[in-house]
Each structure stands twice: as structure tokens, then as C-alpha cells.
Structure 1
């Protein structure tokens, strides 16, 4: 296992490789990451719908980390983890323009991938599982997310991405696959069971309900749920935007602290030489 200082130095190289990816390859890896997170949402929702409500969030938290595991081990590009690109930027290994290009391409790719996963679940009628209980659960989850105040969504986004970036950091610090999986699993499980907000996960959880709510196949099980707050505008502006900004603040905070603690002095000495 790498020490924190070794992990910080390693992320300099990893971060530079990330921002220098050709746009086409970067976009492809981003779509893949969004799809993986969406599939984790499918699995977590399905598992949670099959148990009593009191245990649902814990069961969901046990399944959802599979998404970040798949992202990490396949080399896919996830926006929330890439907030750690603050580390190579502060070390002057990459430029602000390169970081912004990466964030924009990866964010849009993640959105496409997550919505594709949502569409796959809706149009394959996977949501009809458990006599429609899964569709009702998906709708209730989306309504709860879109009912959050802007401040709640932002603050939950901050804490969420602190945990996600810690998970990415722990995975990078390990030299074995089991170590990476364990490093990812615990922080991600913690953010899910606590109800914090992850922008890319929400790119699945809300669109899946938006796509399903007007389909005749799900009308019977959804008629008792008030989905009036579920619109694309409400989702994008009222939920996704503040959650994304919160994720950025949380991720940048982790990156800045790690850079300050483990790289700042080394960077200064290297510049003096």
C-alpha cells in the first residue's frame, strides 16, 4: 500500500494522463462511467425494493459501490472523482484550461451514460419488477430528490463528494484489486446510507422516473404518487445544478488539503531547483 505522500505523487501522473486524453476517448470513457453508475443505481434500487422500507437504504448502500468499483477498475472517467484534478493543477502539472476541458467533456459524457442506463431500465420494463413496486420506489426516490431545497442539495453534494474522493484516494493508494474494492466500498456505502447527493447518480435516479411516469406500462403503479415536481427543468436547475456545485466544492476541498499536506513543499523545492 502506498503512503499518503506516495499516493499524492502518483495522482500527479494520473491526473496529467487524464487531462491529456483525446476528446473522443475521454468522452467514450465518460459515457461508460455514467452507464456503470446508472447500472449501480438499477441494482441498488432493485435490491432495496425487495426488502422492508426500514432496511431499504442499507441494502441499497451495500450494492451501489459496485458502480465506482467498475469505473475505477476499467479506467472510466467520472466527473466527481475528477474533481481531484485540483492536485495536478495546484502543482502546475496541468493548466486550468485542460482541467476545465476534462470536467466539461466528462460531465456531459456521464450524463449521456446515466440516461442511457435509465432508458434501458424503463424501456426493457425492468421497473415492473416486484409487481411494480420497483417503479413506485424509483418515482418516490426521484420526487424526494427534486423536493430538496437548493441549500440542502448543495450541502449534501459537498459531503457526498468528500466521501467519493476519499474512496478514489483509497483505491489509488492500494496496489491490489481487493484493496481497491475495499477502499471504494466503505466511503461510498457511507454516503449512500446517509442520503447524501451524487450528481452522476442523480443523472440516473431522476431521469428514470421522468422517462417512466408517462408510460402506460407504469401508469397503474404510479397513479398514487404525486409527481408534479418531476420536470426536466426542476431536475436540472433545482437539483442537478446545486448538487454538482456541491460535489465540486467537496472534491476540490479534498484535493486542496491533500496537495497542501503532501505536495506543496515538494513543489516549492522543485521550483527553486
Structure 2
């Protein structure tokens, strides 16, 4: 296989995905990981209950038919060079990051041998998935924490290094359920990304190369800062309201696609609706 044939795949979940019913999102993750031949490693670094959380995902993935599912629990940075863990990653066809605290993931794993091994396997085409905290770590700069249900101000969000599977963007999760548009806009204003993605619960961005498709019950909200005509970010103090003029907003439900290069939804004749212009 030549390099151009390798498809880089991510399943980025906004949290609270269905684990009891049809499991639409986790079903797709298993399918991308190889279906009944899938070998899945569950990364539990984000949670303080690794066995409980990990076994819940083992139950789901095995019910969906994955061939081999195992927990990789890393509690300290010393675990980041475990030969057993590295062997499991090198055999995996899918790696899944659970929810919890995204700062735990990066503090334990970033720049370790495990981190390097996962990125190597990702470059070789295996699927990487993550939910909630596991979604937050996907960009190179991630939201560590912040306030919900508030207007955008610089003080409401803290940023830090992510694991850079999808660089140059900002991702927030539990999006509409926790009213996080303000903190996503504030995060975009603090670093040079031009695209922000807010993912609802039980909803996922399924990324393949330069585009993604939305699956699940909610929506993915896209904020595009590339054509902003005015921002007061250089004039305000941290606790003062942020102004942003000219940003684009897209709301994408199940089935809709988005192109990272053009920064536009992918629409065909069946989905395009012309909005009438009001008479003067």
C-alpha cells in the first residue's frame, strides 16, 4: 500500500453515546476498526475508574462482534513505555479513548512511547476514537476546562496541548446540552485555529482524510473564523465581553458532511434548500 492509499480515520464523539440500544456510533467505530476482525484497545487514562469504565466498553464492543478487546490502563507517565501496552497498540486495528478528564490523558501520555506508537499506527490507517474527554484531546490545542452557558469572554476557557490527531481546529463536547457556544468562540479567539466544532451528546464526527460525516441523534456545530471582519480580542481585558463579527455558523445533523479544505458543508441537490429573501 502506498502512502496515498492510507485513509486517516477518527470517530470523535460528543459524549453520552448510546451503549445499551442500537449503539449506532460505537457500531460504526467497530466497523471502521475491522468489524468482526477488529482488535480494539481501550485507553482509560482519562478516568479514575479505569476497570469499571473499560469493562463497560468491552461488553459493548464484544456484543457488536469485535474479535479482541482489551483495556490499556496508564496511571502514570512511567506506564507510557510499557512493553505490554506497546505490543497491544502495534496489534490494534482501533484505539478508543474513554471520557473523564482530558488533562489526565495528556499529562500521562503526551510525548511518551505510547503516544508515538499510537500516532504511528494512525498514520498507517487504523481508526482512533474518543468520547467526551477522549474527543477533547483530538486537536493540537485542546480545551482543558471552561464555563458553560455564558457569553464569550477570554476568562471562561483554559487551553493546553492536545494529542494532535486533528490539528488546527478546536473541539468541544456535550455541546448543546451544556450551552458551550460561548466557550468555543472564546477558545477560537485565543489561538490561530479557524474552525471550531461543537459536538452534541450521542453524536459523532466521523473523519476520513479531509472531510467528516455526522452520525447520531444530535448535531455538530461548526464555527468558521476564517472571514472574521472584526474582533475586539486585542482591546479587552479577560473578563470583558468578546466581540466577533463575520464568523460563519453551520449546524449539521446526522448524514451531513463537511470538507476541511474548503471549510464548507458538502451539499448535493437533495439536501440544498433555497432560503427565500424577504421582500424589501
The TM-score with structure 2 as length reference comes to 0.22
The TM-score with structure 1 as length reference comes to 0.23
Per residue, is there more helix in 1 or in 2?
1
Per residue, is there more strand in 1 or in 2?
2
